[in-house]
Amino acid sequence: MTLEQKVEARQDRDMMAKATIDALLKENDDLQKNLDSSAGYMVTNWKVTKVPVVGAGKGNGIIVDSKTDEKTYVKVSRYDIGGGWGARSYKNLLVVQDQEIFEDLKTGTTQFEAGAEVAAGTVGVDGGSSSLNKDYKLYMLLDGGGSATATARILRMSVDTELTVLENQTSYPNAFADDTVIGDYEKRDWEHKMPFMAQDVIDLGFDLPLPYGVAVIYAKIRQDLVLNELDVGINGEGTVRLDSVKFNNAEALNDSVQLKADMWLLPFMNIYAVAGAILGEAKMDITINGDELIDEANIDCSGLSGKAKCEALRKNPTFSLGGDAGSQSAFNTDSVSYSGYNIGFGTVLAGGYKEWFGALPITYVYSNIDIIDSTVETLTLAPRIGKTINLKNGGTFSPFVGATYLDVDMTLAGSFDVGTDGIESIEYSIRQQNADKWNALVGFNWDITKHWSWNAEVGFWGSREDIITGMTYRY
């Protein structure tokens, strides 16, 4: 359909709706009051044919938001099961008072009715019952013909995407997303304050997502660690750096829940802030040789306390910080558990052309962990490319592939009680970094409506696996 054909079709629907309302106003004293107080209304134009047992009809219509005058053009169809004969055309005006019902109506719904039809006259109020039976009123205007039936009726409605000028129902800015020929796209006004220069790119044929968003995000990450810079002390007497230490197996497991608030600052630049809580566990299997510890820590073996300390270390020539206790691992502790909170900020650089899009989220996070004295800083980059698939009334589904760069550098510190003669406790601190900075990712973003979206992604490859999912509300 060309742009001129779209404009003409909209004008025809608008004129049909106005003529229907004008005719109904003459016959219904309460209609104007209902319209003034309504969340919105729908006018539909029907052509129906019935024979005994079954009947069917199709039509089109328009939904108007009473507060914003926003128009949604729709297609409608009906299937009747019941006795009767008839062939007619008619128009319906559905006035909805309840805002929640009206929002559902605008997205396209399936409704079920059961009721007696108007058999004569030009104006009436439908006496049937419907799934939209909370705070609504349905008026009917007969154009001609007649019928006499008692039916069970199924109504189906869908948004006419060719005629309805929709705000972008994807999470990223996009040029000519509906395969419109360049230069033959829909002109519309951007009604929001942000982002800057929005109207300029709208006039060029771009669609933009709603400017503001809030989200709840859950992430679970498992990754191998690189350990170094181990400092060990005994009985609180200070720590020393141990160079001759074996680092066997080490990994970290993290769970976090984040709250995110974002805003499109520029048409292709989103900025956001995050805050959340972290629960984690670092599994470290670190083998220390008792004799080497005596030498490198310059432990004084003289005197009663020094002698007992050295004898305890020599009886257990190796011991571990973390990992599973072995036959020679008398000094053993479970993995280190920690918790904390984080705050951070970031940006997304994004854009698309037709059904393809690309995005680069960049996030910098500061974390305070209960077993770490200093703040942990984390940098994440996650470039991805994907394709947007229009699901009609199901929204838009956007699968993507990409990669994630994660740089974590932190120092863990702790102690554990030993309780043997000469050694009451062992203190330690160790630097840990993620073994692989990059891994691959695959995921999707499902924009269920222009307000609600659900995203999920899985990271794999190398020594890191992660699952991230979240729900976002845009406004």
What's at 400, amino acid-wise?
Answer: F
Q: By three-state DSSP, how is residue 235 classified?
A: coil
Contact criterion met (CB below 8 Å) for 50 and 84:
yes
Question: What does the domain layout of the chain look like in residue ranges?
Answer: 3-159, 212-474
Who wins on pLDDT, 444 or 462?
444
* Cα–Cα distance measured from residue 164 to residue 62, given in angstroms and rounded to the nearest whole number: 9
pLDDT band at 54 (very low <50, low <70, confident <90, very high): low
Who wins on pLDDT, 370 or 325?
370
Enumerate residues 6+ apart whose C-beta is below 8 A from 191.
Answer: none
CA 366 vs. chain centroid, Å, equals: 23
* Cα–Cα distance measured from residue 212 to residue 189, given in angstroms and rounded to the nearest whole number: 18
- The predicted model gives 260-269 an average pLDDT of 97
Burial class (CB in 10 A: 0-12, 13-18, 19+), 193: exposed
Q: How many CB atoms lie within 10 A of CB 432?
A: 22
pLDDT confidence of residue 119: 41
* Cα–Cα distance measured from residue 29 to residue 22, given in angstroms and rounded to the nearest whole number: 12
* Cα–Cα distance measured from residue 131 to residue 148, given in angstroms and rounded to the nearest whole number: 23
- The predicted model gives 80-106 an average pLDDT of 77
What's at 310, amino acid-wise?
Answer: C
Q: Which of 207, 169, 171, 172 is nearest to 186 (CA)?
A: 207
Which tokens hold the place of 118? 């108007």
Q: By three-state DSSP, how is residue 43 classified?
A: strand
* Cα–Cα distance measured from residue 165 to residue 68, given in angstroms and rounded to the nearest whole number: 14
Burial class (CB in 10 A: 0-12, 13-18, 19+), 339: middle
Architecture per CATH, domain 212-474, reads as Beta Barrel (2.40)
pLDDT confidence of residue 188: 72
Q: Is the pLDDT of residue 232 over 90?
A: no
- The predicted model gives 16-20 an average pLDDT of 94
pLDDT confidence of residue 166: 57
pLDDT confidence of residue 176: 65
Q: Is the pLDDT of residue 116 over 60?
A: no
Tally of CA atoms within 13 A in the half-sphere of 406 that contains its CB: 23
pLDDT confidence of residue 174: 81
Phi and psi at 314, nearest 5°, equal: -75, -30
**DSSP character for 329?**
B
Lowest mean pLDDT across 205-209, 220-224, 253-257, 385-389: 205-209
Who wins on pLDDT, 43 or 101?
43
pLDDT confidence of residue 293: 73
Share of the chain above pLDDT 70, in %: 78
Q: Is the pLDDT of residue 120 over 50?
A: no
Q: Which of 87, 102, 115, 414 is nearest to 281 (CA)?
A: 414
Helix, strand, coil percentages in the chain from 3-state DSSP, rounded to 5: 15, 60, 25
**DSSP character for 322?**
S
How many Å is the Cα radius of gyration of the chain?
A: 34
303: left (phi over 0), alpha (psi -120 to 50) or beta: left
Q: Is the pLDDT of residue 436 over 90?
A: yes
Which tokens hold the place of 77? 């169809």
Q: How many CB atoms lie within 10 A of CB 79?
A: 14
- The predicted model gives 419-444 an average pLDDT of 84
pLDDT confidence of residue 189: 79
Who wins on pLDDT, 386 or 118?
386
* 225-229, 319-323, 337-341: range with highest mean pLDDT: 337-341
Q: Which of 401, 391, 404, 389 is nearest to 358 (CA)?
A: 401
Who wins on pLDDT, 277 or 415?
277
Looking only at the bridges linking them, the beta strands covering 438-447 and 40-50 are: unpaired
Q: Is the pLDDT of residue 43 over 90?
A: yes
DSSP 352-378: EETTEEEEEEEEEEEEEETT-SSPEEE
**DSSP character for 83?**
E
Contact criterion met (CB below 8 Å) for 154 and 131:
no
* Cα–Cα distance measured from residue 322 to residue 328, given in angstroms and rounded to the nearest whole number: 13
pLDDT confidence of residue 243: 75
Q: Is the pLDDT of residue 50 over 80?
A: no
pLDDT band at 124 (very low <50, low <70, confident <90, very high): very low
Contact criterion met (CB below 8 Å) for 396 and 169:
yes
Measured at the CA of 157, the angle between CA 156 and CA 163, to 5 degrees, comes to 155
* Cα–Cα distance measured from residue 170 to residue 400, given in angstroms and rounded to the nearest whole number: 13
Q: Is the pLDDT of residue 253 over 80?
A: yes
Q: Which of 363, 358, 459, 454 is nearest to 400 (CA)?
A: 358
pLDDT band at 418 (very low <50, low <70, confident <90, very high): low
pLDDT band at 216 (very low <50, low <70, confident <90, very high): very high
pLDDT band at 360 (very low <50, low <70, confident <90, very high): very high
Residue carrying the six token digits 């991230």: 468
Q: Is the pLDDT of residue 184 over 60?
A: no
* Cα–Cα distance measured from residue 188 to residue 21, given in angstroms and rounded to the nearest whole number: 26
Look up the pTM and report it. Answer: 0.66
Q: What is the pLDDT of residues 295-336, one digit of tens each?
A: 777 777 888 777 887 887 777 655 555 444 333 433 444 577
Query: pLDDT averaged over the chain?
Result: 81
pLDDT confidence of residue 329: 38
Burial class (CB in 10 A: 0-12, 13-18, 19+), 210: middle
Residue carrying the six token digits 């503001």: 212
